[in-house]
Amino acid sequence: MVSVSPSDISRSSRIGWEQRKRKFLPYAYLSPTLILLAVLTVVPIVTVFLYSLFDNVIVNPNPPEFVGLENYEEVLTHRKFRAAVGNTLYFALASVIVHFIIGLSFALLLNSRLLGTNVKAFFRVLYILPWVFTASIIAILWRLLMNPHGVINFVLLEVGLIPELLEWLSDRKLAIHSVTFINIWSGYPFYLVSFLAGLQGIPDDLYEAGRVDGGNAWQLFWHITLPQLRPIIISLALLDFIWTIHQFTLVWMTTGGGRNTEVLSTYTYKAAFSSYDYSEASATAMVILAICTFVAIFYVRSQRMADD
């Protein structure tokens, strides 16, 4: 006998409602994030892309004029822009490589069995210290130290390492290296912290087995430590590369992008806010976005592999 009572109907419609609610809920929870990202990321990126295809955009009496890829052509053939690309790549690559070396050395040092727990804790805090300071403060700090009459020149001169006072941040040949050095100082703690976490995750058995096989310290490092840290190294390097390309404040507040230290971000900022050429600025902004997206694809892939 099949009979449908009113309560059955209300139950089944309630289940339907529950199912719909369950389908809809995850989006509801995500909605604040999605709205914010849509308005403040997707819309601006589309806008800047459109700007880059037009001339006379924003603060310009003439009506916008569609020019296709002309802005890109103009920018990419510009000598100054090419110099900025070169500087940015040097700045980013050198930072990533030296960050890696310093970060891993400090992490191995802090992981040494020869040190007590309290000693490690103290030096860990000290080594992470540069990370706490914001870029504008780091810029002030190093302008103080690297001043021609500053303490760095004094020490190097006294020791005899340099023959005369050097203009670390205003010499056209030196400045880009000085700025890179400052970025290295401010960024290595990120590697240190990640490597410390990574080192603690390597099981002791691996080292035991390696020692039984007669491996020395160097072999253990090369065949166990490095391969075990590989996923972290890859994602750190890619993230850091992206962040270094984003870096604006440090360069802006040390050299202002002058003295042959122009990087893509300062170049874009000047095009927009000094020359008010928003079309050109939009084109360079898209070039930076393209570089970062390209690197980010590898980053997301490496994260996916770590998840599998």
Partner 1 sequence: MIGSRRQILIRKILVWIALILGACFAGLPVLWMVSSSFKSNLEIFAYPPALIDESFSFQAYEAVLSDPGQLRFFFNSYLVAILVTICTVITSILAGYSLSRYDFRFKKVLSLIIIGVQSVPPITLMIPYFGLIVWLGIYNSYAALVLTYMVFTLSYAIIMMTGYFNTLPRDLDEAVMIDGGGSFVTLWRILVPISLPGIVAVGVYTFMLAWNEFLFALTLTRTNDMRTVPIGIHLLMGQHSFEWNQMLALSVLGSLPVLILFLLFQRYFIAGMSAGSVKG
> Which of 87/282 has CB closer to partner 1?
282
Rounded Cα–Cα distance for residues 242 and 296 (Å) = 8
Q: With binding defined as CB under 8 A, does residue 142 bind partner 1? A: yes
- Candidate residues 9, 137, 162, 226; the one interacting with partner 1 per rule CB under 8 A: 137
Which of 13/47 has CB closer to partner 1? 47
Per-residue interface string for the shown chain with partner 1, residues 247-276, x marking contact by CB under 8 A: -xx---x----------xx--xx--xx---
Paired residues of 55 in beta bridges: 65
Q: Which stretch binds partner 1 (CB under 8 A): 1-9, 71-79, 170-178, 299-307?
A: 299-307
With H, G, I as helix, E, B as strand and everything else as coil, classify residue 65. strand
Which residue, chain included where needed, has tokens 């030296």?
98
Query: b/e per residue, 99-124, with b = 16+ CB within 10 A?
Result: bbebbbebbeebbeeeeeeeeeeeeb
3-class state of residue 55 by DSSP: strand
Alpha helices for the chain (secondary structure H): 6-37, 43-53, 70-76, 79-110, 117-132, 135-145, 151-159, 175-200, 204-212, 217-220, 226-246, 249-254, 264-273, 278-307
Closest CB 1 distance from partner 1, rounded Å: 32
CB of 285 to partner 1, least distance (A): 4
Task: Single out the segment in contact with partner 1 by CB under 8 A; choices: 61-69, 70-78, 202-210, 286-294.
Answer: 286-294
Using CB under 8 A, which residues numbered 177 to 236 contact partner 1? 185, 189-190, 193-194, 197-198, 201, 231-232, 235-236
Strand-pairing partners, residue 54, are 66
* Least distance to partner 1, CB of residue 117, Å: 14
- Binding track, positions 96-125, relative to partner 1; x by CB under 8 A: ---------xx--x--x-xx---x---x-x
Four-point Cα dihedral 131, 142, 255, 162, nearest 10: -130
Residues in the interface with partner 1 (CB under 8 A) total 94
> Of 40, 69, 101, 226, which one interacts with partner 1 (CB under 8 A)?
40
Instruction: Among 51, 72, 81, 91, indicate the residue that binds partner 1 (CB under 8 A).
Output: 51
CA distance 205 to 6: 66
Straight-line distance from the first to the last Cα atom of the chain, in angstroms, rounded to the nearest whole number = 52
For partner 1, the closer of residues 12 and 47 by Cβ is 47
- Taking the complex as a whole, the smallest distance from the CB of residue 236 to partner 1 amounts, in Å, to 5
By CB under 8 A, residue 13 contacts partner 1? no
| Among 9, 15, 43, 162, interactor with partner 1 by CB under 8 A | 43
Phi-psi region of 78 (alpha: psi -120 to 50; beta: other; left: phi over 0): beta
292 belongs to the binding site for partner 1 (CB under 8 A): yes
Q: How many residues does the chain have?
A: 308
Query: Is position 86 an interface residue for partner 1 (rule: CB under 8 A)?
Result: no
